[in-house]
Structure formats: C-alpha cells, structure tokens
Amino acid sequence: MLENLQLPAKQYSCRVKTVLSELDSKDQKILADAVMSPEWPIGTLENSLRKLEIMLSYSSIKRHRTKGCSCWKA
C-alpha cells in the first residue's frame, strides 16, 4: 500500500529568476545573457552587479549557470 511513499523533492526559488522578474525586459535580457555567458567570470559578474546594487551571490550565479537551480528542473 505504501510502496510509492516518497519524500517530496525540495524546490528552492532561484535567486537569479527572482532578480530577473524585478527588471524591465531590456535589463532582463542583458542580465540573463551575462549570467549564462562563459565570457563573464562569475566573481567579476557578482562584483559588477553589486556596484549596480543588484545582489546576486557567486553561488546563485554558478548554480543557475550550471543548471543546478529550480529553473532547469522538470
């Protein structure tokens, strides 16, 4: 009867997705492209965004870039 009982998978909100949702469409495209671009070192991007008062941590950017966040889960 309980053979299929499983602990539900935790799904965390992606910080990159949250920040993107707060931007206008032009800025969304710029940020989305930068986050996924291997030309942007993650630490450099984090520091550049901080100067613009956009708080995205190294780990949040890396998780999104490597498709380890909830955005890429099926």
Q: Where are the domains of the chain?
A: 18-72
pLDDT of residue 10: 66
Cα–Cα distance between 15 and 12 in angstroms, integer? 9
pLDDT of residue 33: 98
Cβ neighbours around 5 below 10 Å, total: 6
pLDDT of residue 11: 64
- Token pair 């998978």 is found at 9
Token representation of residue 6: 């499983």
- pTM, 2 dp: 0.81
Cα–Cα distance between 7 and 24 in angstroms, integer? 38
Q: Spell out the per-residue pLDDT of the chain, length 74, in tens.
A: 788 888 877 666 899 999 999 999 999 999 999 999 999 999 999 999 999 999 999 999 999 999 999 888 75
Token representation of residue 64: 């999104």
pLDDT of residue 4: 87
